[in-house]
Amino acid sequence: MDGTPKEPNDKTAEDIKKWFTTKLSGGVFGWTAPTWFGLFLSEAEELYGKRDCQWTSLGIEISNGQNETNVCPSKKQVHIRLQSTTLNEHDFTLYNLAHETIHVLGPVLKDEVNFLEEGVATLFALELKHYNDANCCKIMRSQLCADKNNYRPALEDVESLLRLRRDAIFQLRKTEKYLSRITPSQIVDAVPACPKELSARLRAKFY
């Protein structure tokens, strides 16, 4: 990424249309970015507990920046931004949308996000069952391991926590709906076997 904003060209405009236009076929409507988001949200809530319903989700917009979740605390509104340039890659778009869905469960500003939340978002996207290419998760995981980034340690730490208690995230969110506000002592309360260093790393700020 060179960080230079790019205007959508005709090809990108086609891709955007694809993600927001549904076709009725045999009495069934096709999938769009909003309906995928709805499915991912239900699956995330099933796994990790209900989102904080005080927030209104405005849905999805396409941007020439990065994939992100935009949060407006004063209005309690949240929406997902998807990067326009990768919309032509179906599975990668689902991966990014699934990742951002986790940030909608208990939305916080970017400077508040911790390793725990990013690790859960990464894991959720990696374990998604809806990719066209069955190898997508493997490919995404190996890319994650090859790149030098914070997502890999975040993922590994969340996986370590889940090895100690499989439903740790669900249990933690019973006490604190906002993953990024969970404290090390709440982690240890829910998962007594969790080493101190691990709980400290999970609560560290990600950005």
Q: Find the shortest distance in angstroms from Cβ 13 to Zn ion.
A: 26
Residue list 39-78, contact with Zn ion (CB under 5 A):
none
Q: In the chain, which ranges are E strands? A: 24-25, 28-29, 56-63, 68-72, 77-83
Cβ burial, residue 28 (10 Å; 0-12/13-18/19+):
exposed
Residue 104 as a binder of Zn ion (CB under 5 A): the answer is no
The piece of 25-33, 41-49, 87-95, 121-129 that touches Zn ion (CB under 5 A) is 121-129
The site that binds Zn ion (CB under 5 A) totals a number of residues, namely 2
Q: What proportions of the chain, in percent to the nearest 5, are helix, strand and coil? A: 55, 15, 35
Q: What are the Cα distances from residue 123, in Å, to 56, 139, 154?
A: 24, 14, 9
Residue 35 CB, nearest approach to Zn ion (Å): 22
Minimum distance between the CB of residue 144 and Zn ion, rounded to whole angstroms?
12
Instruction: Judge whether 67 and 88 are in contact, CB under 8 Å.
Output: no
What would the two tokens of residue 108 be?
A: 């916080």
Report d(CA 138, CA 144) in Å as an integer: 10
Under the binding rule (CB under 5 A), the answer on residue 116 touching Zn ion is: no
Q: Which is nearer to Zn ion, 115 or 131 (CB)?
A: 115
Handedness of CA 169, 172, 174, 179 (dihedral sign): negative
Which residue, 29 or 207, is less far from Zn ion as judged by CB?
Answer: 207
Segment near Zn ion (CB under 5 A); pick from 4-12, 41-49, 112-120, 129-137: 112-120
121: contact with Zn ion by CB under 5 A: yes
**In the complex with Zn ion, which residue's Cβ is closer, 179 or 198?**
179
- Shortest CB 100 distance to Zn ion, Å: 7
Q: Closest separation between CB of residue 118 and Zn ion, Å?
A: 5
Q: Closest distance between Zn ion and the C-beta of residue 151, in Å?
A: 8
CA atoms within 13 A on the CB side of 51: 22
134 Cβ partners below 8 Å, 6+ apart? none
Chain residues that interact with Zn ion, rule: CB under 5 A: 118, 121
